[in-house]
Chain A
Amino acid sequence: MAPGDVYALCASGEDVLMEVADRNNREGIKGWLNPGRYGWERVSYWLQRLTGVGLLAYFVGHIYETSSLTQGPDAWAAMLELTQTPMGHLILLLVIGMSTYHSANGIRLIFTHGGKGLGKPGRPDYPYDAVSLNYRQKSGIWIALILAAAAMLYGASVLFGGE
């Protein structure tokens, strides 16, 4: 038995080779970010993850930001001076775009995970395009991107509108 081989007993009591040592995804983040495979679906895949990580970072920062409320009006005013700047507003705009894209694309993914919009399985003919990567999925991705752009435009009108 090679080091790292994993054996298990199957129902009949026979020893079965389950898998070989290193199960690590060797490509790591490089494989994750590579948009060269699977077309728009791949772009949507990493955008969903990048926006998710970005929103989580903003969420933690926002909780820290609002905690200054507990130290009184001066601490709150000091925090606003730091965040209510053109740069702060640009970050907020990015958050608006990220959250809209993440939500709209997330709803598409929930339907896809439930088997909706995947199309019917067919015979694999040349050029072997996957039936599941169809126009419904592509339009879902475009709708998410367009909604994010629209939300950012509205956000810009509120944040930079001078009110």
Chain B
Amino acid sequence: MAMLRESQIMKIHYITGIAALFVVAAHILMRLIMPYNLSLEYDNVIANYHNMPYVVLLESILVLIAIHGFNGLRIILLELRQSKAWEDGVTVLTIVAMMAVIAYGTRTIIVANGLGFE
């Protein structure tokens, strides 16, 4: 199961890591533009989800960290044990988990944004 060379995957790992640093910093700053407890009130949080640039920021955080995090987990698991079946199994499992987390997080963003059907 070698869709990408390991060197290409490491480049993706580093790029997503650096990019996540910037978007997460912006996400944290949004908690600090007003008193922390106030920023967590329901109306303020929902207002964030109705702000389109912030929605794009949240989705990019979701995708970047999911890719970086689950690839990191894949690397750790491959360091612990090596065999063709293990490598394929770990790769499939981490890709499925990554897609599930992205799908679940995207659902929250869509529903909280008001684009959902609820």
Contacts and interface: CB of A to CB of B under 8 A. Distances in A.
Contacts of A69: 42, 45-46, 49, 108, 111-112
A56 B70 contact: yes
Interface string B58-83: 00001001100110110010011111
A117 to B, nearest CB: 16
Given A56-B70, A69-B49, A24 B83 contact: yes
A163 B46 contact: no
Interface in A23-40: 23-25, 28-29, 32
Interface in B80-111: 80-83, 101, 104-105, 107-108, 111
Q: Secondary structure at chain A's binding surface: helix, strand, loop or mixed?
A: helix
B55 interface: no
B101 to A, nearest CB: 6
Contacts of A23: 82-83
A59 interface: yes
Contact of A158 (B36, B49, B79): B36
Contacts of B62: 63
A139 B110 CA distance: 44
A32 B78 CA distance: 12
A158 B69 CA distance: 27
B37 A76 contact: no
A22 B45 CA distance: 53
Given A56-B69, A63-B62, A63-B105, A70 B81 contact: no
Nearest to A57: B69
B76 A66 contact: no
B45 to A, nearest CB: 6
Contact of B10 (A60, A66, A113): A113
A66 B107 CA distance: 11
B16 to A, nearest CB: 11
A70 B45 CA distance: 11
Contacts of A24: 81-83
Given A24-B82, A24-B83, 12 more contacts: A23-B82, A32-B79, A52-B69, A52-B76, A56-B69, A56-B72, A59-B69, A67-B108, A69-B49, A70-B112, A84-B40, A110-B18
5 contacts: A23-B82, A49-B76, A53-B72, A70-B111, A163-B37
